[in-house]
């Protein structure tokens, strides 16, 4: 069995940074990712789009230096590779081209990134309703830009995608935003610290200016969201704005309510997690290097807490530097100087995070949807069914799964867990600390019994 020095799961900003830093210092790296190529969600298809006219901006193009850096013979790369089990003894079981393999390493770095927060409201499961992130994947992967789409929700990604659509001459029909004046007022207490990352603030103002200049209508502080299909097959989106009920018709409704860490692998391997009260999500407990409570397993990037792609790249470097020092590939002086430089950069980049988390807080309507709203899309479980189970004495996520099947479908609760938890907190006397992070069991991703029976050691 080949034993690598590091196995890195995820080839986004954090994974690429960790791989290149470790490899160029002399460690053998196995880099695994589910996507067809390197880049992750942020820099998806950047190699193919970089040589063309693209509409994704300089931040997207800057990912090319990370992509180029992993062209190293010490990095073994597998794409379209599905990791379906990670063990405490640093064994990773993964599938590629219908064949499962076992690889081992002295260290593992989880860099699986983030996922969009579920955004339930009546009609969010209709055809023609998709997340903003999914639309951006199509834009980057296939050059398919949505036309006359209505964007709903809040968060920086909403503005970013809107400006990319404008630059591609496919401006949104409207932006319908859920952030409120109260959220803006609450965020002002964090503005002095956010000013340390003036570059990001200016970028945000430029996005909004471009949207206004393009004449895209913006409806802020909206509530009472609902989507219906009319007799012509169009989506009729209803919402309340300034106390007036409004309606827009569109073929495509793009929704977004921020992102949360992807924690399926970290939960399955037994890493300790805690509840982030500002981001309303579980995240793994790590030290300043990304080290977890399991020796030899590190977590880097947004899967350890949402801070953005620039921070993710630096956290990947930090984890790699710590591993290099532990394996005596770099001396104490280099270890301290490099890590200090990274931490200073992280301080300034992350200074805006509390401001953004407060400004684009998740509204109560999203956390506590109406009873007829579907929450678990796989099993078609509604809020009302979950409340009924809670009224009958259910107190845990596992009990809900076994009694009413919420979270028992193909995604294993990935898309509904955050909302189910909010409903439980709102409808019971429990505190968030008493509802533990749901367990994830192997196989983390679907796999056939035939493939499991033919596992080969890499």
Report d(CA 183, CA 300) in Å as an integer: 29
Instruction: Please indicate, yes or no, if residue 161 is contained in any of the structural domains.
Output: yes
In a domain, 439, yes or no: no
Q: Count of CB atoms within 10 A of residue 396's CB?
A: 14
The SS3 call for residue 442 is coil
Strands 3-9 and 99-110 turn out to be parallel
Cis peptide before 372 (omega within 30 of 0): no
Q: Distance between CA atoms of 58 and 200, rounded to whole angstroms?
A: 13
| Domain count within the chain | 3
Q: Are residues 107 and 127 in the same domain?
A: no
Q: Are residues 247 and 270 in the same domain?
A: no
Q: Two tokens at 128?
A: 């023609």
Domain at 276, CATH number: 3.50.50.60
- 1: pLDDT strictly greater than 60: no
| Least confident stretch, 13-22, 204-213, 347-356, 413-422 | 413-422
Instruction: Classify each residue of 1-22 as buried b or exposed e, where b means 16 or more C-beta atoms within 10 Å of its C-beta.
Output: eeebbbbbbbbbbbbbbbbbbb
Last residue of a domain, one of 257, 272, 303: 257
What pLDDT digit, counting tens, does each position of 353-386 carry? 999 999 999 999 988 888 898 888 888 888 888 8
Token readout for 435 is 């509802």
Co-location of 130 and 108 in the same domain = no
Which residue do the tokens 């949402």 mark?
306
Asked if residue 297 and residue 202 are part of one domain, the reply reads: no
Which residues lie below 8 Å from residue 96, measured CB to CB, with a gap of 6+?
Answer: 78, 80, 81, 82
- Top pLDDT among 402 and 102 is at 102
pLDDT tens-digit profile of 42-71?
Answer: 999 888 876 665 778 888 888 899 999 999
Same domain assignment for residues 18 and 86: yes
Question: Looking at the predicted structure, is the pLDDT value of residue 457 above 60?
Answer: no
Do residues 89 and 189 both lie within one domain? Answer: no
On whether residue 363 sits in a domain, the answer given is no
Domain identity same for 232 and 132 = yes
Helix, strand or coil, per DSSP, at residue 296: coil
- My answer on whether 136 and 246 are in the same domain is yes
> In Å, how far from its chain's centre is CA 376?
19
Residue 422 clears pLDDT 90, i.e. is over it: no
Give the pLDDT band (50/70/90) at residue 16. very high
Query: Is residue 265 located within the same domain as residue 239?
Result: no
Q: What is the CATH number of the domain that holds 424?
A: 1.10.10
pLDDT of residue 393 exceeding 80: no
Token pair of 307 as six digits: 């801070």
Quick one: 29 and 144 in the same domain? Answer: no
Q: Which domain, by its residues, includes 159?
A: 118-257
382 assigned to some structural domain: yes
What mean pLDDT is predicted for residues 228-238?
91
Q: Are 107 and 323 in contact (CB under 8 A)?
A: yes
445 lies in some domain: no
Of the listed ranges 30-34, 103-107, 141-145, the one predicted with least confidence? 141-145
């Amino acid at each position: 069995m080949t034993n690598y020095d590091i196995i890195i799961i995820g080839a986004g900003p954090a994974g690429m940074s960790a791989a290149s830093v470790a490899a160029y210092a002399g460690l053998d790296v196995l880099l695994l990712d589910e996507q067809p190529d390197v880049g992750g969600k942020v820099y998806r298809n950047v190699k193919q789009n970089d040589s063309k006219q693209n509409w994704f901006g300089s931040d997207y193009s800057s990912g090319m230096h990370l992509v180029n850096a992993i062209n190293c013979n010490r990095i073994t790369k597998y794409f379209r590779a599905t990791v379906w089990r990670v063990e405490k003894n640093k064994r990773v079981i993964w599938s590629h081209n219908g064949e499962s393999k076992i690889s081992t390493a002295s260290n593992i770095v989880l860099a699986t990134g983030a996922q969009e927060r579920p955004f339930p409201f009546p009609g969010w499961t209709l055809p023609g309703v998709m997340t903003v992130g999914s639309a951006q994947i199509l834009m980057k992967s296939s050059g398919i830009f949505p036309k006359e789409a209505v964007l709903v929700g809040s968060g920086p990604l909403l503005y970013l995608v809107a400006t990319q659509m404008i630059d591609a001459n496919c401006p949104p029909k409207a932006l319908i935003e859920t952030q409120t004046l109260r959220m803006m007022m609450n965020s002002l207490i964090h503005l002095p610290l956010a000013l340390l990352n003036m570059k990001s603030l200016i970028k945000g103002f430029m996005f909004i200016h471009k949207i206004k200049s393009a004449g895209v209508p913006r409806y802020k502080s909206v509530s009472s969201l609902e989507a219906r299909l009319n007799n012509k097959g169009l989506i009729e989106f209803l919402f309340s704005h300034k106390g007036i009920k409004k309606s827009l018709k569109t073929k495509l409704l793009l929704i977004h309510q921020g992102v949360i860490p992807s924690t399926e692998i970290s939960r399955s391997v037994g890493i300790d997690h805690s509840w982030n009260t500002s981001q309303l999500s579980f995240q793994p407990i790590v030290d300043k290097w990304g080290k977890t409570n399991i020796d030899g397993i590190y977590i880097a990037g947004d899967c350890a807490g949402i801070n953005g792609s620039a921070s993710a790249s630096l956290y990947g470097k930090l984890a790699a530097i710590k591993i290099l020092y532990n394996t005596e590939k770099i001396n104490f002086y280099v270890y301290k100087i490099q890590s200090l430089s990274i931490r200073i950069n992280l301080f300034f980049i992350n200074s805006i995070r509390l401001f953004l988390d407060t400004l684009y807080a998740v509204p109560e309507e999203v956390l506590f949807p109406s009873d007829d709203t579907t929450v678990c899309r796989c099993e078609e479980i509604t809020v009302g069914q979950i409340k009924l189970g809670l009224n009958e004495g259910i107190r845990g996520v596992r009990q809900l799964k076994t009694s009413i099947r919420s979270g028992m479908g193909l995604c294993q609760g990935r898309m509904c867990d955050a909302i189910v938890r909010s409903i439980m907190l709102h409808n019971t006397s429990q505190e968030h600390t008493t509802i533990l992070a749901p367990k994830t069991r192997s196989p983390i991703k679907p796999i056939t019994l035939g493939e499991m029976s033919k596992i080969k050691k890499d």
